[in-house]
Structure 1
């Protein structure tokens, strides 16, 4: 199958034109190069290296969970903060070794809730003029951070992140008032696991998810041949709707693929209970479709 590559705009504005806003609502995403400067890219890379050096095997601040055998990623080795949601999770089957910072950094799968840990992450998350301007154009409202993570794929490693809708993980009143931003810190290409999306797929509405090795859309809900890959260079970013189906393949290259992902909700978009969310994130026949509503361990 010949994979289609999405168009990416070379220049990232600090505000959106009406044409760009309309395109976002039509296809569910916008992709720009040069969202971050070269200095910001390098500072973010160094920031993640510093997190590994500072927090791994620090028993005063972090609790170590050794690897366990599970069918999903819940058994991956991780360091969990004792007083916040900050977490460093490693690739499945990897056991971190004290002092081996380079080895550990190459095996990180995910950082969670790290945005307060370094000034560079705070600036990107809260104060970046391009990001803030685009989010304002998309959401048409003030906005709050909803979730932060960094997703890493080591060379010739990582696994597929299967097709899913990010809103399936959340619990909000208004599905249209959630937007994600995926920022590449390395050149992201098809070979090393760039984003793949279904253009216009957000307009199909919530799709039922189930638990396999991850929480993913039930097979057959849409035509995957309509998907496109969205390669971007380091510093490029994808802004996307919370219901846009997307996935990333494993890294089949010699190059690491690091990416920051922040999610935002408009300030008027309230967080609700999982039970109430079942009436929001549901298929046309009324079937709750979220990860929380999915049949547990449906392997």
Structure 2
């Protein structure tokens, strides 16, 4: 199915139904363009205050054809700026997350700002987030807030619709933690172009990646990973300062 056909299908049914069927859902204009612009400025101001770090995977260089690329990021953004603390508890976001999971309770796993610089923003090979922090019930989802437009030339997210139904897949550790590129080529995945203010929701089992930003403008996003609080980690492999914070509802396991 082409992206145009998928978009038509997304408009015909609820985001929750589309998410269950395809493993992702793009929610248009969840925040306004003006809000997105303000958050973009907040992201870049925050990164300017921090010591630069580049989390580009070694395997990403091969996708980029061997050319030098870079990525800027920040974990746990809400600990550095109150603007992000407000955003992750905004009911416009948490109500959608709850509907997609089928649970009234939404718990934070972690947040991360990603900026792909203009003309050389690093790609991500195809992978499942589940490989990085597996859970027992697989309710974990991601919300990617777009703070500027993300057309294909800016290295937008690419997905394999329905791949979440295959469950956890074996990943290659060398050069990152990703799926074998020969079996999961980035260019064959469906590009999910987005506008500033759109939020892309993904199951952590959905196979996805993203291309190189070859445009003349940075691509700026905030990643929020969330879960049902009753979905416990299968392995203690991913620490974050904010993990366990309730974004909506309650933690039924608290105190047990």
Q: 1:4 to 1:53 in 2, by over 3 A?
A: closer
Aligned to 2:145: 183
CA contact (8 A) 2:126 2:186 kept: no
The counterpart of 2:180, out of the listed 195, 218, 241, is 218
Q: Does 1:173 align with 2:136?
A: yes
Aligned partner of residue 134 in structure 2, secondary structure: coil
Q: Deviations over 1:197-235 (max 9, x none)?
A: 001010111111112332111245558676211101111
The whole-number CA distance in structure 1 between the counterparts of 2:185 and 2:157 is 17
Q: 1:4 to 1:140 in 2, by over 3 A?
A: closer
Q: How many matched pairs? A: 227
Q: Does 1:40 align with 2:53?
A: no
Aligned to 2:118: 155
Q: CA deviation at 1:129?
A: 1.8
Aligned to 1:296: none
Q: Deviations over 1:252-275 (max 9, x none)?
A: 111211111110010111123359
Q: CA deviation at 1:125?
A: 1.0
The counterpart of 2:108, out of the listed 108, 132, 145, is 145
Aligned partner of residue 210 in structure 1, secondary structure: coil
Q: Does 1:267 align with 2:252?
A: no
Unaligned stretches of 5+ in structure 1?
12-16, 57-63, 74-91, 95-106, 276-299
Q: 1:152 to 1:9 in 2, by over 3 A?
A: farther
CA contact (8 A) 1:164 1:216 kept: yes
Q: Does 1:120 align with 2:115?
A: no
The whole-number CA distance in structure 1 between the counterparts of 2:226 and 2:193 is 22
The counterpart of 2:211, out of the listed 249, 265, 269, is 249
Alignment of 1:255-294 (within 5 A): 255-273=217-235
CA contact (8 A) 2:133 2:235 kept: no
Q: 1:181 to 1:8 in 2, by over 3 A?
A: farther
**TM-score, normalised on structure 2?**
0.77
Aligned to 1:135: 97
The whole-number CA distance in structure 2 between the counterparts of 1:245 and 1:229 is 12
Q: CA deviation at 1:143?
A: 1.5
Unaligned stretches of 5+ in structure 2?
61-66, 238-256
Aligned to 2:247: none
Q: Does 1:7 align with 2:7?
A: yes
State the structure with more CA Rg: 1
Q: Does 1:21 align with 2:16?
A: yes
The counterpart of 1:52, out of the listed 47, 56, 76, is 47
Greater RCO, CA 8 A, separation 6+: 2
Q: 1:231 to 1:137 in 2, by over 3 A?
A: same
